[in-house]
């Protein structure tokens, strides 16, 4: 008789906990998924940021190779020679980006790449404007908390070089 009661107690305790493993799995899955999503999101952010810095640096280095004697004036040298060379080089450095992101960052004919020549100083800037409203990966919103991670307003890479 004692063995029958022991068996019935075990089976009733199993019935009471039959969904506990599923609930624990769901809670842990949400935690690990959130951590994984945060890692991937920040990895993409850092990849974009470092790529923009690299592209701006390559564009600034390419400006050194432009011969100022080949142009009639310093304004023509800055606008036609340096700006076109820098924009072309930056565009080549970011060819790996998906088409939509490329158009958002570089514009048509790489026209959104900022090239400022002031005296003998050249500044190159590559900007992903308003990243919060147009992210590469959707930002995860946690109910009751809001966005999972703080995101920068703009992603940008800058490079400055002296042309003399």
Q: What angle do CA 39, 41, 42 make, to 5 degrees?
A: 65
Which pLDDT band holds residue 50 (cuts at 50, 70, 90)?
very high
φ, ψ of residue 146 in degrees (nearest 5): 105, -155
pLDDT-derived band of residue 105, with 50, 70 and 90 as boundaries?
Answer: very high
Rounded Cα–Cα distance for residues 66 and 77 (Å)? 8
Tell me, what's the pLDDT at 126?
97
Which pLDDT score is estimated for 5?
A: 55
* Least confident range of 62-71, 75-84, 94-103, 147-156: 147-156
When pLDDT is averaged across residues 11-34 and rounded to a whole number, the result is 78
Confidence of residue 11 (pLDDT cuts 50, 70, 90): low
Whether the pLDDT of residue 145 is over 90: the answer is no
Q: Which two tokens stand for residue 132?
A: 């919060």
pLDDT tops 90 at residue 79? no
Average pLDDT over residues 37-51: 91
Which residues, 6+ apart, have CB-to-CB distance to 134 below 8 Å?
Answer: 104
pLDDT at position 31, please? 86
Structure tokens at 101: 């992101």
Confidence bin at 23 (pLDDT 50/70/90)? confident
């Amino acid at each position: 008789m004692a063995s029958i009661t022991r068996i019935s107690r075990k089976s009733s305790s199993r019935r009471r906990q039959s969904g506990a493993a599923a609930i624990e799995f769901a809670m842990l899955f949400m935690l690990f998924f959130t951590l994984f999503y945060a890692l991937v999101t920040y990895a993409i952010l850092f990849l974009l940021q470092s790529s923009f810095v690299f592209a701006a640096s390559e564009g600034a280095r390419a400006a050194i190779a432009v011969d100022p004697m080949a142009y009639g004036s310093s304004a023509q040298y800055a606008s036609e020679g340096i700006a076109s060379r820098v924009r072309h080089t930056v565009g080549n450095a970011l060819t790996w980006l998906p088409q939509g992101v490329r158009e958002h960052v570089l514009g048509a004919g790489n026209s959104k790449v900022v090239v400022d020549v002031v005296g003998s100083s050249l500044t190159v800037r590559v900007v992903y404007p308003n990243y919060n409203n147009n992210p590469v990966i959707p930002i995860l919103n946690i109910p009751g908390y809001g966005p999972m991670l703080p995101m920068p307003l703009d992603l940008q890479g800058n490079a400055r070089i002296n042309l003399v």
